């Protein structure tokens, strides 16, 4: 995927996430809604089909069975091309989990039978979140383990392609976190602040400003990670063309500078936000002090610096060999 196409899709995802978050508004069941999609909608559809008539019930049963056995079918299709791997067992667990999860989503009135204690009004939401999250974890676990196996068995060219695919998926995850999860939390905070304003005589404007600043402070690292990933994809593309070319070395140096700048921006933005909170603490309804120490970003910068040195030395050795030949 070209970087321009990736940026366009990320922008489109951000717009869609903002629109959907505005439509959901102040729903506190947002995490469960995300985790349950699209299983909850499929369960509702199967329930509606089974309620029509005998034919609809049979068709719903057929769809239910086919969907739940899809992971097993996927394994059987690949069985003739490769040997059984330990991670393939997760597909069978995923299939069994889908049977159980979809059954309770089709019959939500039975969710209370899962636990021995009463979880209250939010009990069904919690159980749906747990059941659906388990299925996503199984699927993600299989994909990660499968990619790790491919990384150790495929050629370097194939590995570069897989890395670009994984990094592109990470970009979409960061965009979703920035413009859906964190943005929804901002809306919840503003709605809660509006309710407090009806009971208090203090001005809510400073608190509104700081809620927005807190969101921007959380937004900066996510957007910078997306930029770093795009720069990394450009580096991998250059390595696919010629890993010893000067363009590859320049791309590594550029990425290293981006990492250093991003690291400084994350630390400074978090520090400035906390200082401003202390200065205006008397005018705020709520204070949320967080100090982010981006240890993984620091390790990433050091790794890139090491890669830059190795590539530079390797390129010099290759030049000397070419001159000698």
DSSP secondary structure letters along 68-83: HTHHHHHHHHHHTTS-
Q: What is the pLDDT of residue 286?
A: 66
Average pLDDT score over residue span 13-19: 89
Q: What percent of the chain has pLDDT over 90?
A: 11
Residue 25's region, left for phi above 0, alpha for psi from -120 to 50, else beta, is left
Residue predicted with more confidence, 41 or 241: 41
Report the distance separating Cα 17 and Cα 10, nearest Å: 10
pLDDT band at 273 (very low <50, low <70, confident <90, very high): confident
pLDDT, average across residues 173-197: 81
Nearest in space to 142 (alpha carbons), one of 197, 76, 91, 74: 91
What is the reported pLDDT for 94? 92
* CA 105/CA 94 separation, integer angstroms: 16
Q: What six digits make up the tokens of 61?
A: 């049963």
Handedness of CA 66, 68, 74, 80 (dihedral sign): negative
Phi, psi of 114 (to 5 degrees): -70, -40
Give the lowest-confidence range in 72-86, 176-190, 250-264: 250-264
Quickly state the pLDDT bin for 55 (edges 50, 70, 90). Answer: confident
Give the confidence band of 290 by pLDDT, cuts at 50, 70, 90: low
pLDDT at 198 over 60: no
What residues contact 57, with CB distance under 8 A and at least 6 apart?
49, 50, 51
Contact 273, 217 (CB under 8 A): yes
Q: Are 230 and 6 in contact (CB under 8 A)?
A: yes
Nearest partner of 93 among 114, 72, 63, 78, judged by Cα: 72
The whole-number average pLDDT for the span 28-57 is: 82
Residue from 156, 321, 313 nearest 239 by CA: 156
Across the chain, mean pLDDT equals 79
Mean pLDDT of 162-172: 85
Q: Residue 67 has which token pair?
A: 């969907």
- pLDDT tens, position by position, 94-126: 999 999 999 988 888 777 777 655 655 566 777
């Amino acid at each position: 995927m070209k970087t321009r196409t990736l940026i366009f899709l990320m922008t489109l995802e951000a717009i869609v996430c903002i629109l959907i978050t505005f439509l959901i508004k102040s729903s506190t069941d947002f995490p469960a809604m995300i985790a349950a999609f699209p299983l909850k909608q499929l369960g509702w559809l199967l329930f509606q089909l089974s309620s029509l008539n005998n034919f609809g019930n049979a068709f719903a049963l057929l769809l239910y069975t086919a969907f739940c056995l899809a992971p097993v079918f996927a394994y059987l299709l690949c069985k003739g091309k490769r040997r059984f791997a330990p991670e393939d067992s997760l597909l069978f667990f995923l299939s069994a989990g889908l049977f159980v999860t979809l059954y309770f989503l089709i019959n939500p009135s039975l969710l209370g039978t899962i636990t021995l204690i009463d979880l209250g009004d939010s009990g069904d939401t919690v159980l749906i979140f747990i059941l659906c999250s388990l299925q996503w974890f199984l699927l993600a676990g299989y994909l990660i383990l499968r990619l790790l196996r491919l990384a150790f068995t495929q050629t370097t060219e194939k590995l570069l392609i897989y890395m670009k695919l994984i990094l592109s998926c990470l970009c979409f995850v960061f965009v979703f976190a920035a413009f859906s999860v964190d943005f929804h939390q901002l809306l919840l905070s503003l709605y809660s602040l509006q309710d407090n304003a009806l009971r208090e005589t203090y001005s809510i404007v400073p608190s509104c400003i700081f809620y927005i600043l807190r969101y921007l402070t959380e937004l900066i690292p996510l957007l910078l990670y997306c930029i770093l990933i795009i720069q990394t994809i450009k580096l991998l593309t250059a390595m696919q063309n010629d890993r010893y070319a000067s363009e590859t070395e320049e791309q590594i140096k550029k990425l290293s500078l981006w990492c250093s700048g991003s690291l400084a921006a994350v630390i400074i933005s978090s520090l400035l936000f906390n200082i401003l909170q202390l200065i205006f603490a008397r005018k705020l309804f709520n204070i949320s002090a967080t100090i982010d120490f981006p240890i993984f970003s620091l390790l990433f910068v050091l790794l890139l610096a090491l890669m830059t040195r190795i590539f530079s030395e390797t390129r010099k050795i290759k030049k000397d060999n070419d001159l000698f030949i």
